[in-house]
Amino acid sequence: MPTHHTDATAPTLPLLVTMGDASGIGPEIIAKAVAAGELADALVVGDPGVLRRAVAACGLTLPVAVLEHPADLAGCPPGVLAVCAPPGLDADLATLPFGAIDARAGAAAARCIEQAVAWARAGAGRAIVTAPIHKEALASAGVPYPGHTEMLQALAAGPGAPVPPVRMMLANDELRVVLVTIHLSLRRAIDALSLQGIVDTLAITHAAGLRFGLAAPRIAVAGLNPHAGEGGLFGSEEIELIAPAIAQARAAGIAASGPFAPDTVFMRARDAAGKPGEFDFVVAMTHDHGLIPVKYLGVEQGVNVTLGLPFVRTSPDHGTAFDIAGRGVADPASLVAAARMARRLAP
């Protein structure tokens, strides 16, 4: 193996794009994005056979170049799909059926994420863009994380180190939403809400806004209950947790306001043509409260961003789409948007 020396400040560091679940549409949208010239600065962390199969499924003529390290991308000719396989991948990934949950695909997806994080932490990659994984495939492989966000959080900390507080943001050109709780049942999510958790979310969101170039990010906080609790008539979380967290954040110089009724605040924040949004971000208490409004506007341009990591990570706003995997019809628009967002946020 050659020895590679990387400069973490070099502008030519590649995006590290993980292939996702081998049985889903991740490899196909990667192949389409590369063929469209949207990932010229990217190294795919994945299985070369799976990527070749995706190229064929999409009816593309696209050479696949197998590299050993991200630094090798600098010597790669243009117009190729550059891929590096981490050790430990199953040898038969390219023969797995499309659209089926398989532990081997889950294990491979996790291994690619681990390798991408290792390279990002070593300064060998500019940012990480993750193609969709399947949570059941991860679980069947014994991976102890419910999704990307939790796995990346643990990997970012390193062995024995405390995990950094992270939050999930879903964004498109019209709306940015940050979640206090993520992959929990609704009952558990409500129980998991805490004053400190909401304060941390507001601080992380404020820091993200500064990274977006906003001098004083305007953060609207959605309530949990109907009509934001209606003064305690429909629930006390707004009074006991959310309003005190907003007050604490404002005392620290964060432009947070609310709690607002969750059924109207997203309309107020939406930055539509001819109607500028009143807020730069909305913080929502639970997963579906926050993500339904963004996804309703269209998943094609939606991007998932993990805030609070020591590296930039983005992903498309959709899943593995097992129902269309292998047919070559998947739309790469959200992956392209995720790559563009990663370039914007990466130092």
248 neighbors 197 (Cβ within 8 angstroms): no
> Average pLDDT for residues 76-96, to the nearest whole number?
94
> Average pLDDT for residues 191-203, to the nearest whole number?
97
Give strand pairing partners of 313: 128
Residue 161: the pLDDT is 77
Q: Is the pTM of this model over 0.75?
A: yes
Mean per-residue pLDDT of the chain: 91
Answer CATH for 173-294 from 3.40.50.300, 3.30.565.10, 3.40.718.10, 3.40.1350.10: 3.40.718.10
Residue 295: the pLDDT is 86
| Dist. CA 259–CA 268, nearest whole Å | 13
Residue 249: the pLDDT is 98
Residue 299: the pLDDT is 67
Tokens of 327: 């047919």
Residue 9: the pLDDT is 38
165 neighbors 53 (Cβ within 8 angstroms): no
Residue 64: the pLDDT is 96
- The amino acid at residue 268 is R
Judged by average pLDDT, the poorest of 5-14, 99-108, 122-131, 262-271 is: 5-14
- Residue 29 to residues 18, 19, 251, 320, Cα–Cα distance (Å): 12, 9, 45, 10
> Average pLDDT for residues 176-202, to the nearest whole number?
95
Radius of gyration of the chain measured on its C-alpha atoms:
20
Pairing relation of β-strands 176-179 and 281-284? parallel
- pLDDT tens digits for 277-333? 999 999 999 999 999 998 888 767 789 999 999 899 999 988 999 999 999 999 999
Residue 56's region, left for phi above 0, alpha for psi from -120 to 50, else beta, is: alpha
- Domains 15-162+310-345 and 173-294 belong to one CATH topology: yes
Higher-scoring residue by pLDDT: 157, 49:
49
| pLDDT over 90, % of the chain | 79
Supply the angle between the helices 26-35 and 48-57 in degrees, to the nearest 10. Answer: 70
Q: For residue 108, is pLDDT > 60?
A: yes
Residue 36: the pLDDT is 96
Edge to edge, what strands does the sheet with 303-307 contain?
64-66, 81-84, 42-45, 15-18, 127-130, 313-316, 303-307, 167-171, 176-179, 281-284, 218-222, 255-260
- pLDDT tens digits for 43-79? 999 999 999 999 999 999 999 999 999 999 999 998 9
Q: Does domain 15-162+310-345 have CATH number 3.40.718.10?
A: yes
| Dist. CA 27–CA 18, nearest whole Å | 9
Q: For residue 171, is pLDDT > 50?
A: yes
Supply the angle between the helices 26-35 and 333-345 in degrees, to the nearest 10. Answer: 70
309 neighbors 13 (Cβ within 8 angstroms): no
Give strand pairing partners of 284: 179
Tokens of 46: 């994945």
CA angle, corner 179, sides to 227 and 318, nearest 5?
115
Higher-scoring residue by pLDDT: 113, 300:
113
The domain ranges of the chain are 15-162+310-345, 173-294
| Dist. CA 129–CA 124, nearest whole Å | 14
173 neighbors 220 (Cβ within 8 angstroms): no
